[in-house]
Amino acid sequence: MIIVIQCKDQVGLVAAISGVLAQEQLNIISLREHVDPTENRFFMRIDVAGERAAENLQRELRKFLPPDAVISINPRPEKKIVVLVTKEYHCLSDILVRHHFRTLGASVQHVIGNYPILEDICHRFEIPFSHITHQDQEKEIFEQQIIDAMLQYQPDYIVLAKFMRILSPAFIRAFPARIINIHHSFLPAFAGANPYRQAFERGVKLIGATAHFVTDQLDEGPIIAQQIIPVNHSFTAADMMKAGKEIETSVLAKALRLVFEDRVLVYKNKTVVFE
């Protein structure tokens, strides 16, 4: 069982929480905590052995925590996800392989694409695929069709595996801190479209990728994971794109693992990541 807590910081929180867990006969396997002194904010992730009803445990913990405490108790080891895609296969294929061999930490319930190109690979892994076209229809209708297709699965998270469409604020508000995107640059550099072309034209010596939660500010959501690799003058824009795809796959895989293991806590536009 994983317990995740964030709240206003105050003296004695670790002792109080540990006391409640001992009282409930829950053994602490691991405990990580962090205090942000600027925000006076306390963050904790606890892995415990034992079984207790989540509602009862939350009630006992709240007796000793500040009123603003956010408590998540997640006994389910495997999350449910829906993946949104466009045409690029590299991130989706990695997710499907990890799902097949049960190393993803989540169950892929459904893949939705605004092009039919990736339907075949989904069928090969026996994952349902829906083609929802965005052409010749309003964005609101397009997004509502996506939501309707997802709701039957009740996903914990939505993964944008190179889904090259900008989602509306209304869509994002419906899934707060639950939409994960992989962006093809080391944010905040080269946000928006064609980052490898931007990097090539700028003559950069490092390129990277960023996995982040989606907000209504384009490519500015809380960052989960990042990675960079060196490049040089001999790299063309195509070379950078090829190398970048490998980083994108790696960074997204790492970010998903961290999120699925409840190691990422979001506060305002930042994250605390207990790796």
The catalytic residues are 219
Closest CA to 162 of 274, 76, 238, 248: 248
Position 117: which residue type? I
For residues 30 and 2, is the Cβ–Cβ distance under 8 A? Answer: no
Distance of alpha carbon 65 from alpha carbon 16, whole angstroms: 8
Distance of alpha carbon 140 from alpha carbon 123, whole angstroms: 28
Distance of alpha carbon 141 from alpha carbon 159, whole angstroms: 20
Q: 3: how many CB neighbours lie within 10 A of its CB? A: 25
Beta strand 157-160 with 129-131 is: unpaired
